[in-house]
Structure 1
């Protein structure tokens, strides 16, 4: 027995994930509007959205979030259960994963037994329901029933209770009398077994009491209730269905016992009954909150309604006519498609098209804006019927004016957060694609947009003959440019566009590689690169970026390329370069065969690169050094599928959009300033409780090409750095990263400096401007 106990401890240890303290660097921006499950525990209500959970304290009204930032997996949640006895929350997922979060603790227990079970098909591993009895919880799944011990935190037996021991879908279990009952789909009816039986693993110990399809079964005091797929609810008496108690207008989504009341949730009503099925309360959909219900729970005074659009709606049991909306702040959805970071915020859209630039089925999703730490959400009803919203462009001359592309309806103009105009084929230079079979069909597939230095908004539309257009917002004038010189057939899609310092427009295309376009008086220059002869790994280009050296970084369906000399693009024979790195002494191509979905350049000229299934990379300016590689395994990323990346250069915050939600990472790499006028150091003074070695003193708002010397008050040199030499992540005591320098408090002898006043002497190597700062260090 001792050996067995030791083995259990050894096996469990790797499953405990101490939720790393990401709070200083990472932040989650998840949507908590679409609730999967609501449960009650002690004085709290717990609600699960698609891949995160929040709690609401009914006494203090405090709301707390639990997400990948705290250590959750980011997978899709199917159900949750709270144990008041053991003070823990059990989270079940669509893929069979189970996680346990402990009250007032930083541990997340990850249980992978079901996920890693090879005999169960991946599509059958969904967790449907948790039913606690004593120290164990019975887990209803699409293959049968599994047991998890809450006291020992140990996975137990699995019961395949179908005929002949087959795998069948069990939707819910309950304990009634001395028996465990299971409601099953697939014509497998209701099955029961003696709960105290030591051999429940033997399917022959499970008895079919009723045939058919049953979605729920629940015990309330001395009564057993069940619901079938005909929307009927029955009382089970002597293992037989009694007369039908009620037939619901919509399929019951949840049937549960809360404080000895029966709660039945349908998409448009929540019903609360006594244990003897006497109605207590009924809550219909409110005209003020048009949504669907998904789950519900109660306390002594209120009903807490899980919804698809408003998080939790709280309403009095006695008079459910007023509603309070409860959920953490967040964007509309957890499916960000495009992001545009601005100082102190980010714009997010949720429209999408597939890999082949097909927007169907069309989506209607609105957009979100994080502004000064508050989310402003604009629903589809407010966006003038613009579907499939994607790229966002903020007018640099007027930050309150924003243009959002619709991959079906044209260009949406937003002023002061309010959609004001939709540009289409009737009121602008935008054009619809043409269907020979339907001349009245209108479909304006507008993708990437970008402002140039003259205030013109450049747009690119797919599947038309003149895809490139310029728009002047001041006078509503449009110009169109044909690509017929290089493209004889209409291209399915254009995914990205950037503008170089010389005004060249670089455009990513689906079938024709990348395109360079430059105005040349009354004419224009146009050229594309797409073939293997030019070292292109694919003619499908998804992402582009111009770095601070005017080099073009090209993300394709099958790898990364760089055009180092962009100035002679139209005159010379062009060949793009792959980046070769040494890995364990072997030369390899950087991001070989990777699907590159996004490329962004930060204030230090380093590159953030998102991929189609490998997370996000952060490379040095030349790509030779991997500074970070974030995935779901080593970071709070909820998914390795990156849809977009955008950087707030002022604050050094990187926003990363994934298929399962939005997160941000505070890299600290801010853009340099034109002068040293506003340069400052913090914290200042440096107090004894500040970990100067790890947290470092920041010297902010410095210029691009600067030399920094730190001396003591007597003039002895302590540290020195130069922008192009002492770059961040190089191991120096004083490092420069764009507009910010980092000093770890050490001197030239690599010792932490003593208490005293230190002088920071800044010198701009281009303008010869100088500035001196003082830092007081107290140890």
Structure 2
């Protein structure tokens, strides 16, 4: 069973990357790739992170992109005798975590080993006499513990070619290597010419997966389903396996044999101590296992790392840090009280991957929970999420294949599909019975109606009214072949005009309140750079921002829809030195979100995220994997908490957020507050004054009334750098904050204490 346990988390695991603590990580620790031990800790890895458990205190510490561990894809983890953590990756990168928690990326294998980039996977680490032997897809690299530099590389194929080495060990003065295609190879460790392939011989020609030294005997796992110990060159079978063999591990007290569906533990006499076939209530395949201090640690493919006893393993405790279901974060939505994360997927053409997956939920008070895949009515490719603003207990989730789910109180899923108001794709024979209800976009209007797009049918725009009645709108007279249209997102402006992104048809604008008026904006008549529109966003100044597969366009006023029958967009030209160029020229724009200050957050395919000013003329920030805690440059979705200003970035390698300051303006000045307050010695960040109405006048003076700062707010938060108009840091003391609404009808005064 899975037990709740009071594990402690170090605070820096969530925030440590930035000195101003501007980033948070929301990573999954369920898909375990490797496990290892040190004298005091157990270490485990996922594809995108590493965590360890202090055995004596139960403290869990995580290492993610937020504290500068930014892997390609983790394939191996190892703790050295001098307390350094080595993280091996699929691309050959080795990330070194030092004892003080700082990190160093070792790129020697990536840059210096002359093999194709897709042949540098790190399979295993093995330490012996001050050196670490790195088993890789091309051979063996030897790292010196004294400086963590590569001392030599061994290419041990029969003709000196690169071969996949799965694991190495030292036994009786010889180094043994389990290779994927050329059997078990060996050489004399003291031989100074190990880099010469001719110095290596084949010890056994069979297909070996893993090799270790245990109780002064050589033990190896074979691809035939058995594990053997070697008596000289004679094989003695002592264990058979269930499922694909994975790896052998030993802590010198026990030998652990890991298979996909079975974990076996043997003592030093090679007597079977225990077998684990499954973890109760968690049907899952195994990925790795190891023992320490009579405890057994088992990694699974979907449910994290479990701890149990070596003898009589009946009670299993999940010790993975709490997190979402998986790191692949497709769509993220901040509702009033929770963060919803969908893990579905569809490609550029909106073809779904038919993946059945649950939904991850985060609440700041209760942490992570989930709606399991068994509770989503079989709906696959879950994506866009929308909260009912008139009933916060109702949340809708779109499926790229199965229709639309309605959750009440995060449960009780009800599925809208072809049997109740939605429509399925209509294919010709022999596929006429294929059922696929593709909902791609959802947005609530000010009247409480939920507008959706229903792809590949004539009536592609639908609305679920606040009285629970449906209405559909036919696009046959507006666009050619609506049964061939896929849709992106929807946004709705102050006039109730719906702006719909589409694949191949540009932007479709619609307003039922104006005699069902439609206007199509495309390459031919609307100056779009591409009819593949990936996203649309109406900003706070009633401009429409259009992100396409080949760049950005702006409609200067959504009001034009009411009086015109054709609409044309314009590009944004920015000045870079003496060169004028188009903003995001020919770039694939994946998402656009507008924050409380009318800045735009723009996700560019494989290029990270930009924050640009309200008019797009100034780039305020750019975040990439290289310069920020983004775990990937492929940001698929963005959402913003309008109350706190937190900006969420959903990537294919995890969810992170940036603690921005552009919040929505409040309706009054009752909730104005400043933080941090007091400002303590050594603090180098800014003071935020939040809870403001939009466009308030804000003045800060010292206690004697001398003005040190003045501004007009844009949104609900103002930052003060604790200087007097940017010239010098103010002295210790009490500073008064005077806030006046734009119509002078409301005022408030707050105090900030500064201690230098």
What TM-score, normalized by structure 2, do the two folds share?
A: 0.94
Aligned to 2:51: 54
Q: Which residue of 2 aligns with 1:742?
A: 719
Query: What is residue 7 of structure 2 aligned with on the other side?
Result: none
Describe the superposition over 1:461-488 as per-residue Cα deviations: whole angstroms up to 9, x where unpaired: 111111110013x543111111112322
Match of 1:354 among 347, 357, 361: 347
* Map of 2:4 onto structure 1: none
Counterpart CA distance in 1 for 2:19 and 2:434 is: 50
**Residue 551 in 1 paired to residue 543 in 2?**
yes
Counterpart for residue 630 of structure 1: 623
Superposition deviation, residue 597 in structure 1 = 0.6
Q: For residues 306 and 73 of structure 1, what CA distance do their matches in structure 2 show?
A: 21
Say if 1:74 and 1:660, in contact at 8 Å, map to a contact too.
no
How many correspondences in the alignment?
A: 738
2:735 pairs with 1:758: yes
**Aligned-partner Cα distance in 1 for 2:29–2:141:** 29
Shift of 1:776: 4.0
Give how far 1:23 is off: 6.8
Shift of 1:695: 2.2
Verify: 1:202 aligned to 2:196, yes or no. Answer: yes
CA distance in 2, matches of 1:277, 1:588: 71
Instruction: Check the 8 A contact 2:551/2:585 in 1, yes or no.
Output: yes
Partners of 1:429 and 1:480 within 8 A in 2: no
Q: How does 1:297-446 map to 2 (within 5 A)?
A: 297-343=290-336, 345-360=338-353, 362-373=354-365, 374-446=367-439
Residues 346 and 369 in structure 1, CA contact (< 8 A), matched pair in contact too? yes
- Structure 2 residue aligned with 1:93: 89
- How far does the alpha carbon of each residue in 1:11-34 deviate from its partner, in whole angstroms, 9 at most, with x for none? xxxxxxxx8446711111110011
**Contact persistence 2:336–2:392 (CA under 8 A):** no
1:27 equivalent in alignment to 2:24: yes
Alignment partner, residue 211 of structure 2: 217
**Among residues 699, 706, 716, which one is paired with 1:709 in the alignment?**
699
Query: SS of the residue aligned with 1:217?
Result: strand
Secondary structure in 1 matching 2:730 = coil
- d(CA) in 2 for partners of 1:602, 1:405: 24
Distance 1:274 1:755, change over 3 A: closer
Contact preservation (8 Å) 2:612, 2:619: yes
CA contact (8 A) 2:519 2:566 kept: no
Determine the C-alpha separation between the residues in 1 that align with 2:381 and 2:24. 27
What SS does structure 2 have at the residue aligned with 1:520? Answer: helix
User: Are residue 70 (structure 1) and residue 72 (structure 2) matched?
Assistant: no
Q: Which runs of 5+ in 2 are unaligned?
A: 1-15
C-alpha contact (below 8 Å) 1:603/1:672 kept by paired residues: yes
Is the 1:491–1:510 Cα contact (8 Å) retained in structure 2? Answer: no
C-alpha separation between the residues in 2 aligned to 1:687 and 1:358?
A: 52
Residue 435 of structure 1 and its aligned partner are, at CA, apart by 4.4
Q: Deviations over 1:261-302 (max 9, x none)?
A: 211011221101123421111112033111111111112231
Secondary structure at the aligned position of 2:378 is classed as coil
* Counterparts of 1:629 and 1:532, CA distance in 2: 32
Q: CA deviation at 1:120?
A: 0.5
Alpha-carbon contact 1:165-1:203 (below 8 Å) kept:
yes
Matches within 5 A, 1:591-740: 591-684=584-677, 686-689=678-681, 691=683, 694-723=684-713, 737-740=714-717
Q: Which residue of 1 aligns with 2:183?
A: 189
Which stretch shifts more, 348-357 or 273-282?
A: 273-282
Which whole-Å CA distance do the structure 2 matches of 1:776 and 1:211 have between them?
A: 75
Q: Any conservation in 2 of the 1:74–1:639 contact (CA below 8 Å)?
A: no
Is the Cα contact below 8 Å between 1:608 and 1:618 reproduced in 2? yes
Who is 1:144 aligned against?
Answer: 139
2: CA distance between counterparts of 1:135 and 1:202?
A: 22
1:477 maps to 469
- Asked if the contact 1:343/1:651 (under 8 Å) is kept, the reply is no
Does the 8 A contact of 1:343 with 1:649 survive in 2? no
Please state whether the residue corresponding to 2:620 is helix, strand or coil: strand
Aligned to 2:148: 153
- Deviation, 1:308, is 1.5
Tell me by how many angstroms 1:88 deviates.
1.1
**Counterpart among 107, 123, 132 of residue 112 in structure 1:** 107
Alpha-carbon distance in 2 for matches of 1:68, 1:344: 26
Aligned to 1:16: none
- Aligned partners of 1:713, 1:276: CA distance in 2, in Å? 79
- Of 487-496 and 48-57, deviating more is 487-496
1:588-644: CA deviations, max 9, x gaps?
Answer: 111111111110000100011112110111111111111111111111111101110
Separation (CA, whole Å) in 1 of partners of 2:549 and 2:277: 49
Partner of 1:69: helix, strand, or coil?
Answer: helix
Is the 1:223–1:275 Cα contact (8 Å) retained in structure 2? no
SS of aligned partner of 1:444: coil
1:771 equivalenced with 2:748 (yes/no): yes
| Offset from partner CA, 1:156-211 (integer Å, 9 cap, x none) | 2111110221011111111111110111112x111111111111110000001222
Secondary structure (helix, strand or coil) at the match of 1:163 reads coil
Paired with 1:643 and 1:677, the residues of 2 have a C-alpha distance of 37
State the match for 1:174 in structure 2.
169
SS in 1 for 2:36: strand
Whether the 8 Å contact between 1:704 and 1:739 is mirrored in structure 2 is: yes
Q: For 1:582 and 1:23, locate their aligned partners in 2 and report how far apart those are by CA, in whole Å.
A: 31
Alpha-carbon distance in structure 1 between the residues aligned to 2:438 and 2:320: 35
Tell me which residue corresponds to 2:12: none
Evaluate the alpha carbon distance shift between residue 652 and residue 39 of structure 1 in structure 2; reply closer, same or farther with a 3 A threshold. Answer: same
Q: Contact 1:554–1:560 (CA<8 Å) still a contact in 2?
A: yes
**1:481 & 1:385 partners in 2: Cα distance?**
28
The corresponding residue for 1:10 is none
Question: Which sits farther off after the overlay, 561-570 or 425-434?
Answer: 425-434
Note the C-alpha offset of 1:376: 1.3
Q: 1:638 to 1:777 in 2, by over 3 A?
A: closer
Deviation (angstroms), 1:536: 1.2
Aligned partners of 2:519 and 2:567 also within 8 Å: no
Contact 1:234 1:241 (8 Å CA) reproduced: no
2:227 is aligned, of 217, 233, 239, to 233
- Write the distance in 2 (CA, Å) between the matches of 1:252 and 1:749: 64
The range that moved more, 528-537 or 304-313, is: 528-537
How far apart, CA to CA, are the structure 1 residues paired with 2:68 and 2:752?
Answer: 37
Distance 1:567 1:88 in 2: 61
Give the secondary-structure state (helix, strand or coil) at the position aligned to 1:591: coil
Aligned to 2:278: 285
* Residues 1:757 and 1:62: Cα distance change in structure 2 (over 3 Å): closer
Match of 1:575 among 562, 568, 578: 568
1:572 Cα offset (Å) = 4.7
Give distance in 1, aligned partners of 2:144 and 2:261: 36
CA distance in 1 between counterparts of 2:723 and 2:211 reads: 66
Cα distance in structure 2, aligned partners of 1:622 and 1:388: 35
